[in-house]
Amino acid sequence: MSLPETVRLVEVGPRDGLQNEAQPISVADKVRLVDDLSEAGLSYIEVGSFVSPKWVPQMAGSAEVFAGIVQRPGVTYAALAPNLRGFEDALAAGVKEVAVFAAASEAFSQRNINCSISESLKRFEPIMQEARAQGVRVRGYVSCVLGCPYEGQVRAEQVTPVARALFDMGCYEVSLGDTIGAGTAGDTRRLFEVVSREVPREALAGHFHDTYGQALANVYASLLEGIQVFDSSVAGLGGCPYAKGATGNVATEDVLYLLQGLGIETGIDLDRLIAAGQRISGVLGRANGSRVARARTAQ
């Protein structure tokens, strides 16, 4: 299969990147991060989550972040919603696109959203109904597609029914998440090969955490499988509060560098993106997790 000509990057840094941070991050710093990212040319930014603040305290200020950002035309500003309450709160905050999130493993579903996989899918139905009525697009996530922190191995055949259920209930795109970042390029190819028998490739996205240093290879493996949408985090921010030891998403800067080298268009300005990553890394008092950013800023 030939490589795609264009790729869309879904920037999840402000959400997946920051959700696990123990130190308080001000609304102003979050707003600045989102604005820096849209100025760098990102066309899709996951800004926050409308989840229980007891479960994920860092996302508690998401409505204020939405109120503070500059909403540029052509940019999608999205948020996670785990239930109807979260969906309604998101709408009240002016969110135009939401994401629901399920898992391929029962244990992770319980730890992450306190219910079984099938209960979670039932919980999403009223969201889908309301979303249709309000003209809100819904993206779906499946976590633990290449392994679970509690159950270990996860087979592609376990992922397919969950991805298919999300697609069938109206998610326009389903992002397959390697939450623990342990999957390899071989696993990734097989995953998309199997899942795409029931969900069209055009409706699938890849979401790779970089715990084992395989994320960029997995992005390339996905491109070879015809996947054209990837989730990534500026400066490689992040981790999941319910996947201990898992590191951040693949760095947006590193994916962009890979894509540029392949002549694949994204519309993103690498220098501005690096500046955005440097700024938030400074706020967090941490080394930039993007290898490309580290190389460029060392010059």
Amino acid, res. 162: V
Q: Which is nearer to ligand HMG, 179 or 247 (CB)?
A: 179
Is 16 an interacting residue with respect to Mg ion (CB under 5 A)?
A: yes
From residue 211, alpha-carbon distances to 50, 180, 232 in Å are 26, 7, 13
CB of 188 to Mg ion, least distance (A): 15
Contact, 175 vs 196, CB < 8 A?
Answer: no
Q: Could you give the residue ranges of the DSSP H alpha helices within the chain?
A: 27-39, 62-68, 84-92, 106-113, 117-134, 156-168, 185-195, 215-224, 252-261, 270-284, 291-298
Is 114 an interacting residue with respect to ligand HMG (CB under 6 A)?
A: yes
Is 247 an interacting residue with respect to ligand HMG (CB under 6 A)?
A: no
Which of 38, 105, 109, 112 touches ligand HMG (CB under 6 A)? Answer: 112
Q: Which of 255, 256, 247, 246 is nearest to 287 (CA)?
A: 247
Q: Which is nearer to ligand HMG, 79 or 273 (CB)?
A: 79
Which of 7, 11, 13, 16 touches ligand HMG (CB under 6 A)? Answer: 16
The residues pairing with 142 across neighbouring beta strands, listed in sequence order, are 102, 176
Contact, 85 vs 112, CB < 8 A?
Answer: no
* 144 in catalytic set: no
CA distance 108 to 220: 27
Residue 55 touches which member of ligand HMG, Mg ion, none, C-beta under 5-8 Å by kind: ligand HMG
Select which of 144, 148, 171, 240 is catalytic: 240
- Residues at the site binding Mg ion, with contacts judged by CB under 5 A: 16
- Residues at the site binding ligand HMG, with contacts judged by CB under 6 A: 16, 19, 49-52, 55-56, 80, 82-83, 85-86, 89, 101, 112-114, 141, 143, 177, 179, 207, 209, 240-242
